[in-house]
Amino acid sequence: MSTFPHFGTAAIHVGQEPEQWDMNQVVPPISMSSTYKQDNPGEPKGHDYSRAGNPTRDVLQKNLAALEDAKHCQVFASGLAATSAIINLLKTGDHIVCSDDVYGGTQRYIRRVAVPNHGLEVDSVDLTDVQNLEKSIKPNTKMIWFESPSNPLLKVVDIAAVVQVAKKANPEIVVVVDNTFMSPYFQRPLSLGADVVVHSITKYINGHSDVVMGAVITDSDEFQQHLFFMQLG
């Protein structure tokens, strides 16, 4: 979370403190190493293998978490990789309520991978009317997934209302909001009660079509550990 009062200040400072580097670099250095020396076996100095993290990723993750006013952020090689890491939290027989308008890659992953290969159940629902959600929640519903505004039809969902309905039905239901189209500058779903925020950094956060990356942001320590395990294996 950011201690800076303004979004712009947090965007250019959080995670980028020169004092964290040996040479006090004002611009964070790019870490190219895949492995890190340990003084003794099993005693890494913060990092041991770059799949699980490196100093450059630490900077980005701290910054993105601050922009969403959150505790944790994990970045992934793409938005869809971030999506799959979240859905891998679920088990065979679990049910997802998914908005009827979501990014095509998300929809294909759920319907063509998660459902047939992992035994998940999914219902596509127009969540612009929360009464549809009330009718769709089942005893095995474990996750609500939606975008607001959605891609591509720009459907706007009342995030707080969805959270209220979901948590009333079952406090353990995980509410996931894809915040790609709004970005944290305009909307912070965690402040509205969502459990998890996902971004395709490729789009508005990056802004100039030269990066493919995804991020998952949450206040949950338990969910953070799940994401870290997905990266480390």
With 0.85 as the threshold, say if the pTM is over it.
yes
129-148: pLDDT as tens digits: 999 999 999 999 999 999 99
pLDDT of residue 164: 99
Q: How far is 98 from 118, CA to CA, in rounded Å?
A: 16
The stretches in the chain having pLDDT less than 50 are none
Cα 120 to Cα 137: distance, rounded to the nearest angstrom: 14
Q: What is the CATH number of domain 51-232?
A: 3.40.640.10
**Using an 8 Å Cβ cutoff, are 79 and 104 in contact?**
no
Name the residues annotated as catalytic: 51, 103, 178, 203
Task: Provide the b/e sequence for 174-198 (b: ≥16 CB within 10 Å).
Answer: bbbbbbbbbbbeebbbbebbbbbbb
